[in-house]
């Protein structure tokens, strides 16, 4: 039997518990891969009661999760209580969320789970507790550090219709311009190609590199960044033997016909990548962290405090994240 997926609790006051329960209830209908939740069984039971859901919960070890999955939602205890009510984070929220992430990574490293799937966190809640990372991506890179050196994490948003990667991530537009270099574009693209080969089963991934400026700079008349930073990166990647085109005008890269010509769009900053995929695939896009020694996927949405505990949360993105994690794990085995 394949190892189960380790699903983190996320922010206990958010919709993570709601979509976890909803996904497990559809396990047979959708033939979902076995997973277990790392968290507080009592808190999950309370949420199920509030939602009026009849879900059997089994507190088990990671090794027992797959066998329990058909009859009960397996919960592996982290030792951290979660007392927050829906929509109302409290003093237990940060510890519960972070302990769940740390244990999920440790379980994969120990061979107890095949991949990490993370429920949404509330970064403002974590920041108040002293969290110093911009988000999941950077924290996971620190947990994956070997010999004191963290790998370069690359954030991919994936859907069947479109996959995108921002070269600069959770920074202001001004800071993105300061961070953008030829070397960063090249290292990001190389990680994308390596993981698409190893974990997505693509023998020769095709990349489309977006220009930074309108119309990819119009040969320098709208800014020299595409000539001086982006184009040299494309040439280096081409010499690597990678199937790559660019810099391309970002405003014509994402229509249906254009999307058929590449497997992943490499974009220069956060919104250039995320606006198109959230327009095309808002309900089934998956956040994937590339460049790590383990597989990590996540729903492509936040904690949605306003609807937590109401039964309105849509589990589609979590379901897609679970399926993609299992697919990537199978391709890597």
Q: Which residues span the domain enclosing 6? A: 1-151+301-333
For residue 76, give the 3-state DSSP assignment: strand
Confirm or deny that 255 is annotated as ligand binding: no
186 and 233 belong to one structural domain: yes
Q: What is the pLDDT of residues 302-317, one digit of tens each?
A: 999 999 999 999 999 9
145 and 165 belong to one structural domain: no
165 and 271 belong to one structural domain: yes
Whole-number pLDDT of residue 147: 66
Q: Is residue 295 part of a domain?
A: no
213 and 183 belong to one structural domain: yes
103 and 214 belong to one structural domain: no
Residue 1 confidence (pLDDT) above 60: no
Q: Is residue 286 part of a domain?
A: no
119 and 43 belong to one structural domain: yes
| pTM of the entire predicted model | 0.92
Nearest to 2 by CA among 331, 318, 284: 331
CA distance 144 to 116: 12
Mean pLDDT of 180-208: 97
270 and 145 belong to one structural domain: no
Which element (helix H / strand E) includes 68?
Answer: helix 65-68
What lies within 8 Å, CB to CB, of 262 at 6+ separation is 206, 207, 208, 245
Residue 22 confidence (pLDDT) above 70: yes
12 and 147 belong to one structural domain: yes
205 and 228 belong to one structural domain: yes
pLDDT band at 150 (very low <50, low <70, confident <90, very high): confident
> Cα 140–146–148 angle (5° rounding)?
95
CA distance 136 to 294: 14
pLDDT band at 138 (very low <50, low <70, confident <90, very high): confident
Whole-number pLDDT of residue 145: 83
Q: Is residue 102 part of a domain?
A: yes
Whole-number pLDDT of residue 168: 95
Confirm or deny that 133 is annotated as ligand binding: no
Q: Is residue 293 part of a domain?
A: no
* Phi, psi for 26 (deg, rounded to 5): -100, 15
204 and 308 belong to one structural domain: no
Q: What is the largest CA-CA distance in the chain?
A: 64
Q: Which tokens go with 71?
A: 């009859």
For residue 47, give the 3-state DSSP assignment: helix
Residue 149 confidence (pLDDT) above 90: no
Q: Is residue 285 part of a domain?
A: no
- Please give the radius of gyration of the chain, using alpha carbons only, rounded to the nearest integer: 20
Confirm or deny that 278 is annotated as ligand binding: yes
3-state helix, strand, coil in the chain (%, to 5): 45, 15, 40
Confirm or deny that 215 is annotated as ligand binding: yes
CA distance 285 to 289: 13
Beta pairing partners, 289? 155, 296
Mean pLDDT of 261-275: 97
Confirm or deny that 301 is annotated as ligand binding: no
Q: Is residue 296 part of a domain?
A: no
Q: What is the pLDDT of residues 53-108, one digit of tens each?
A: 999 999 999 999 999 999 999 999 999 999 999 999 999 999 999 999 999 999 99
Domain containing 308 — which CATH number?
A: 3.40.718.10
What domain count does the chain have?
Answer: 2
Confirm or deny that 296 is annotated as ligand binding: yes
Q: Is residue 244 part of a domain?
A: yes
Q: Is residue 213 part of a domain?
A: yes
Whole-number pLDDT of residue 43: 96
Cα distances from 12 to residues 1, 34, 118, 226, 287, in angstroms, run 30, 22, 12, 43, 20
| Average pLDDT across the chain, whole number | 94
Share of the chain above pLDDT 70, in %: 99
317 and 220 belong to one structural domain: no
Q: What is the pLDDT of residues 163-190, one digit of tens each?
A: 999 999 888 999 999 999 999 999 999 9
Share of the chain above pLDDT 90, in %: 85
Confirm or deny that 119 is annotated as ligand binding: no
Mean pLDDT of 31-35: 96
Residue 333 confidence (pLDDT) above 80: no
29 and 134 belong to one structural domain: yes
Confirm or deny that 124 is annotated as ligand binding: no
Whole-number pLDDT of residue 36: 98
* Phi, psi for 222 (deg, rounded to 5): -115, 30
List strand residue ranges (DSSP E) for 114-267, in order: 115-117, 154-158, 163-166, 206-210, 243-248, 264-267
């Amino acid at each position: 039997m394949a190892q189960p997926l380790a699903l983190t609790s996320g922010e206990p006051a958010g919709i993570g518990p709601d979509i976890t329960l909803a996904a497990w209830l559809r396990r047979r209908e959708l033939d979902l891969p076995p997973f277990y939740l790392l968290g507080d069984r009592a808190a999950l039971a309370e949420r199920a009661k509030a939602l009026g859901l009849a879900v059997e919960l089994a507190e088990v070890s990671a090794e027992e999760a797959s066998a329990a999955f058909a009859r009960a939602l397996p919960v592996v205890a982290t030792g951290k209580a979660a007392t927050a009510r829906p929509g109302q984070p409290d003093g237990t929220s940060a510890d519960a969320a972070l302990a769940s992430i740390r244990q999920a990574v440790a379980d994969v490293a120990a061979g107890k789970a095949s991949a990490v799937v993370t429920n949404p966190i509330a970064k403002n809640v974590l920041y108040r507790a002293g969290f110093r990372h911009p988000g999941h991506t950077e924290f996971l890179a620190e947990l994956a550090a070997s010999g004191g050196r963290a790998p370069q994490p690359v954030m991919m948003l994936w859907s069947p219709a479109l996959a995108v990667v921002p070269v600069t991530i959770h920074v202001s537009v001004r800071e993105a311009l300061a961070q953008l270099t030829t070397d960063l574009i090249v290292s990001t693209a190389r990680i994308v190609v390596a993981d698409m080969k190893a974990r997505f089963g693509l023998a020769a991934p095709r990349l489309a590199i977006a220009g930074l400026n309108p119309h990819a700079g119009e040969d320098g008349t709208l800014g020299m960044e595409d000539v001086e930073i982006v184009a040299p990166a494309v040439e280096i990647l081409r010499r690597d033997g990678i199937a790559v085109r660019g810099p391309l005008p970002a405003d014509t890269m994402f229509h249906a016909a254009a999307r058929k010509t590449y497997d992943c769009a490499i974009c220069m900053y956060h919104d250039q990548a995320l606006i198109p995929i959230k327009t095309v695939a808002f309900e089934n896009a998956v956040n994937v962290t590339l460049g790590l020694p383990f597989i990590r996927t996540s729903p492509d949405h936040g904690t949605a405090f306003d609807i937590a505990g109401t039964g309105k949360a849509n589990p589609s993105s979590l379901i897609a994240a679970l399926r993609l994690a299992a697919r990537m794990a199978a391709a890597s085995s």
